[in-house]
Structure 1
Amino acid sequence: MPDHWQLRWRPLALWRWRRDGEHRQDQGLRVELEDPHGRRTAGEISPLPERHRSGADPLHGGHLRVLQSQLEHSGFTAGRQQLEHWLRHMACRHPCTAFALGSALWNPDQQRHHYGAGPVDEDDAGGRPHGACPWPTVGVLPCGTPALAALERGLACGWRCWKWKIGALPWREEQPLLAALLAMLAPVDGRLRLDANGRLDAADLPHWLDAATDPHVSWLEQPLAPTDPLLEQLLGSPPIPGVQLALDESITHLDHVEELLRTPPVSRPLLVIKPSQLGDPRRLADLLRVWPGRCVISSSFEGRLGQAVVRDLAWLAALGGSPAPGLGATV
């Protein structure tokens, strides 16, 4: 039996939804760890191309080869220490890889015991407890007029919570569609989350802030680009009555998440967390426990390995009173 840790990786195909509601295929990596006792675990690197930063989480595996060489002659304790050292010092540079390695090191049985989440169905990619559904399904609506037909199909399935991507069309064209969507949701007391993906500008913003006061709008997510000075001004202003703000693309790694939780902006935005893009899921689990109800767990349309971890984290967040997570449901 080898007396060192083994690290391997191989390509992983990922299917994702585009803003227009169609599928696309992206590339990821499956990362496999084997400890000196022969125990094997795995995680996945599944970066979102639109969130990609130069040099971060390269899919050619170069940064993994460096770690692999460091583990080649490490026994159980030394190898584990080397992995933890890598996660502490490299996670901000390679957050998707940190998610994969942290997932592989995270013992699901211990995690569920610690947080009281109950037994898990091995055949359920979601990894949630038997017979439990702590959150309603959150549907994803396509941009523009196709959203109306998608909402109608989802309502027929009993769904009552939706995310709609805005900013694809001029606000004068989208807000009549918003009025129609809200009119469909009102009779069933449904909820709509408006996600701008940072596409709004100073001229658009007042119109969408006004729209976000509707009682059936849960929040306005990432209204401005992370680099827009107006966003900092908006977050530093007192909360707007009836408007809940949320951040997504502004969040790049778990250090930033912890900073926002410790010292939140005056407006106290919700944090929409994509675990597979931000780092070690074990650290995120601790943040969810210390600051309950502040984070919304969201999928990035991961593969099966990533989905299981994201859904476990969504369950932990739900235990702390977080809003229903966005896990990529669509019709």
Structure 2
Amino acid sequence: MADHWRLRWQPLPLRRWCRDGAQRHDPGLRLELDDPHGRQVAGEISPLPERRQSGADPLHGGHLQELQRQLESADLTAGRQKLERWLHRTACQHPCTAFALGSALWRLDQQGHSHGAGSMPTGAGTNTDAGSPDAEHPWPTVGLLPSGAAALTALERGLARGWRCWKWKIGALPWRQEQPLLAALLAMVTPVAGQLRLDANGRLDTAALSHWLEAAVDPRIGWLEQPLAPTDPLLERLLASSPIPGVQLALDESLAHLDQVEHLLRAPPASEPLLVVKPSQLGDPRRLAGLLRAWPGRCVVSSGFEGRLGQAVVHDLAKLAAAGGSPAPGLGATA
């Protein structure tokens, strides 16, 4: 039996999907934590490439070395306090690491039947062999469509599988080329009462924005996600203006950590956008679970294309969000 806490990490290869539908391989870290009782838990550090560029969660683990030293002689109570303090101080600076460590501590509480921090919906983190979202969970599958004309073929495959909701990445081509494709996609989903979600990833400019806002009025479109870059002043004005009838806005890239999520939930802009949260990119999942319970229906849980370890936690948070009335989560199913 261990007599103090131990913290370790090792490389974790990840497989992700690109905007064009192709696969890529990215690096991550598997974080392992042993408590003084000899219980072992793990979490996943899996920053998306665009977020990893900021250096927030270095995959050499250098930011974890100080914490490791603090735990070398810590008993059960002192070690737990050090872990929680480290999380509180650095969660915004290292959100993906906070997700991994918070997942491990949440799982540790489940093993010890301690529910002080809030229990996981179904023992998250235990299912390291989680399958596809449509195979194991009650919510409708949300298909991910690639940019451009390739979306038509992908949608056809999804229809054959019985899927009825898709996210389409827009902004890769000029709006004059993409909107005829949108008309074709909408014509394909109409017979099955399907729905599209438009995700611009902040790539629209001022000229294209008005055309996409007009298109988003269509009732077959669930929402227009992150139409402008987080740093674009026009985005703030758009969010602060009165809601556009028939248009639901959503934010994704504007959310870098859970402090921002909580701020938008407590004092939402006039447009009351949905918040598309990627738990593995935002911080401690225990805190996110509390936000999902406090503001039901405001957040949509989305995948960051995690590995199996992180996927299990994300899926359980998606269940919690769905129980509060959130739309079907976007968990990265591809046709």
- Please tell me the TM-score bracket, short chain as reference: over 0.9
After TM superposition, the structure 1 = structure 2 runs for residues 156-171 of structure 1, keeping only pairs within 5 Å, are: 156-171=160-175
After TM superposition, the structure 1 = structure 2 runs for residues 94-173 of structure 1, keeping only pairs within 5 Å, are: 94-107=94-107, 108=110, 117=121, 122=127, 124-125=129-130, 133-173=137-177
Does 2:200 align with 1:207?
A: no
Report how far residue 8 of structure 1 moved: 0.4
Amino acid at match of 2:218: D
Measure, in 2, the Cα distance between the counterparts of 1:119 and 1:274.
Answer: 19
Give the equivalent residue in structure 2 for 1:16.
16
Amino acid at match of 1:125: A
Give the equivalent residue in structure 2 for 1:85.
85
Cα deviation, 1:281-307, whole Å, max 9, x if unaligned, reads: 000000000000000000010001000
Cα deviation, 1:52-97, whole Å, max 9, x if unaligned, reads: 3533000111011111001001000100000000110100000000
* Candidates 229, 232, 236, aligned match of 2:233: 229
Give the equivalent residue in structure 1 for 2:36.
36
Measure, in 1, the Cα distance between the counterparts of 2:127 and 2:283.
Answer: 25
Report how far residue 132 of structure 1 moved: 7.1
Which blocks of at least 5 consecutive residues in structure 1 are unaligned?
Answer: none
Does 2:186 align with 1:190?
A: no
CA contact (8 A) 1:144 1:168 kept: yes
SS in 1 for 2:333: coil
Measure, in 1, the Cα distance between the counterparts of 2:316 and 2:41.
Answer: 16
Measure, in 2, the Cα distance between the counterparts of 1:178 and 1:87.
Answer: 43
Under a length normalisation based on structure 2, what TM-score does the superposition of the two structures give? Answer: 0.94
Provide the identity percentage. Answer: 73
* Candidates 246, 263, 270, aligned match of 2:267: 263
Report how far residue 4 of structure 1 moved: 1.1
CA contact (8 A) 2:99 2:283 kept: yes
Give the equivalent residue in structure 1 for 2:181.
177
SS in 1 for 2:334: coil
Does 2:69 align with 1:65?
A: no
Measure, in 1, the Cα distance between the counterparts of 2:129 and 2:243.
Answer: 40
Report how far residue 51 of structure 1 moved: 2.3
Measure, in 1, the Cα distance between the counterparts of 2:201 and 2:54.
Answer: 20
Measure, in 1, the Cα distance between the counterparts of 2:161 and 2:119.
Answer: 32
Q: Which moved more, 1:160-169 or 1:114-123?
A: 114-123
Report how far residue 249 of structure 1 moved: 0.1
Measure, in 2, the Cα distance between the counterparts of 1:168 and 1:118.
Answer: 39
Under a length normalisation based on structure 1, what TM-score does the superposition of the two structures give? Answer: 0.95
Cα deviation, 1:177-213, whole Å, max 9, x if unaligned, reads: 0000000011111010000000001000000000000
Amino acid at match of 1:11: P
Measure, in 1, the Cα distance between the counterparts of 2:47 and 2:35.
Answer: 26
Q: 1:259 to 1:211 in 2, by over 3 A?
A: same
Cα deviation, 1:119-140, whole Å, max 9, x if unaligned, reads: 8885751699xx9733100000
CA contact (8 A) 1:126 1:307 kept: no
Amino acid at match of 2:37: H
Give the equivalent residue in structure 2 for 1:47.
47
SS in 2 for 1:205: helix
Cα deviation, 1:219-249, whole Å, max 9, x if unaligned, reads: 0000000000000000000000000000000
Give the equivalent residue in structure 1 for 2:27.
27
Amino acid at match of 1:200: L
Report how far residue 2 of structure 1 moved: 3.3
* Candidates 235, 243, 246, aligned match of 2:250: 246
CA contact (8 A) 1:138 1:326 kept: yes
Cα deviation, 1:132-158, whole Å, max 9, x if unaligned, reads: 733100000011001001000100100
SS in 2 for 1:301: coil
SS in 1 for 2:190: helix
CA contact (8 A) 1:29 1:59 kept: yes
Q: 1:158 to 1:104 in 2, by over 3 A?
A: same
Measure, in 2, the Cα distance between the counterparts of 1:186 and 1:52.
Answer: 39
CA contact (8 A) 1:221 1:246 kept: yes
SS in 2 for 1:106: helix
Count how many residue pairs are aligned between Structure 1 and Structure 2: 328
Measure, in 2, the Cα distance between the counterparts of 1:307 and 1:17.
Answer: 15
Which blocks of at least 5 consecutive residues in structure 2 are unaligned?
Answer: none
SS in 2 for 1:98: helix
Q: 1:270 to 1:242 in 2, by over 3 A?
A: same
CA contact (8 A) 2:274 2:299 kept: yes
CA contact (8 A) 1:197 1:221 kept: yes
